[in-house]
Amino acid sequence: MDTDLDGPLPGEDEVLDRLHRHLRSWLGAWPPTSMVTVVGCDCRTEAGWDGAVRPFAGVETPEGTILSVPPDRVEAVRAAGATLEEILDGVPEGLGTPGAVVGKGVYRYALAPAAMEPIGEWVPADAPDVPAWLRPFGGEVLVVRDDGKYVAGLGIKRHDQLGMEVAVATDEAWRGRGLARALVARGAATILRVGGVPIYLHGRGNAASARVAEAAGFPDRGWFILGLPTAT
C-alpha cells in the first residue's frame, strides 16, 4: 500500500458526499431533517466491522440527530419522549435492554489530513510481530518499528466501503513524539485515496486523543457518536 503516498487527494465536496452516503447506509437516513429523528434500519440487525451486532447507533450534530434502531423497535423508541434527552433515556427500555446506558463520544471526520512526513509501514494484520490489539482490524495495519521492534500502530475499522474509522496507539515509552498524529494523518490520506472518508472517534474526556485528532486534520465540529455497549 505504499501507493497511498502518491497522487492527489479528493476535493472537500467529494469527501462530504462520501460521508453522507456512508451515514445514509450506516444509519438508514442522512442528513438530519429535525432536531431528533428515529429511523428503522435493517443494518441494526446485521454484523458490524468486528462481527458484533449493534441494535442502536446515532450521530448528533448541531443541526439535528439521527437515531438508528431495528425496524420493529422504532415506535417503542419514539414513544420515549419528544426531546433527544428523553428519547436517549428510553432507548435501552425500547430495545429490550433495561439498565443499559447510551454512551456519547466525539465524532470527527477529515476532509484533508494534516501535511506530515509519512511514517510507518503497511503490513498484514496477522504478521508475527503485530500486537494483539491490531489483529482484529484485518487487512493491513500501519506500524512503526524501532530496531525491528513494534512501537506504534494504526488500524482501520471498515464499517463499509466508504466509512473507515482509524484507531491508533503508541507504546508508553514512545509517547509524546508525535507518532500517533503522524500515523493518523497517513492513515487518513490512504483512506481518502482508496475512495473512503476517514473517521475518528474518542471519549469526550480524552484530551490526549483530542489533541492527536486536531493535529492530524480531524477538527471538532460539534458532532457526537451515540451507542450502547456491545455484548462480550
- How confident is the model over 157-187, as pLDDT tens digits? 999 999 999 999 999 999 999 999 999 999 9
- How far is the C-alpha of 148 from the C-alpha of 37, rounded, in Å? 51
Q: What is the mean pLDDT of residues 33-54?
A: 96
Distance CA 154, CA 169 (A): 7
* 66, 135: one domain: no
**Same domain assignment for residues 146 and 101:** no
Q: What is the CATH number of the domain that holds 131?
A: 3.40.630.30
> Hey, what's the cell of 25?
447506509
What's the rounded Cα separation, in Å, for the pair 88 and 78? Answer: 10
Strand order across the beta sheet in which 121-124 lies: 37-40, 64-69, 57-61, 224-227, 103-109, 197-203, 163-170, 149-158, 140-146, 121-124
- Asked if residue 164 and residue 86 are part of one domain, the reply reads no
pLDDT per residue as tens digits for the range 101-144:
999 999 999 999 999 999 999 999 999 989 999 999 999 999 99
* Dist CA 138 CA 158 (whole Å): 9
Do 104 and 205 lie in a common domain? no
User: pTM of the predicted model, to two decimals?
Assistant: 0.95
- Do 75 and 138 belong to one domain? no
What grid cell was written down for 133? 490489539
Q: Select from 47, 73, 108 the last residue of a domain.
A: 108
Tell me: pLDDT of 2 over 90. Answer: no
pLDDT at residue 231, rounded to an integer: 61
> Three-state DSSP class for 134?
helix
Residue 52 structural domain: 22-108
* 79 and 131 assigned to the same domain: no
The answer on 209 and 138 residing in a single domain is yes
The total domain count for the chain is 2
Q: Which helix (H) or strand (E) holds 107?
A: strand 103-109
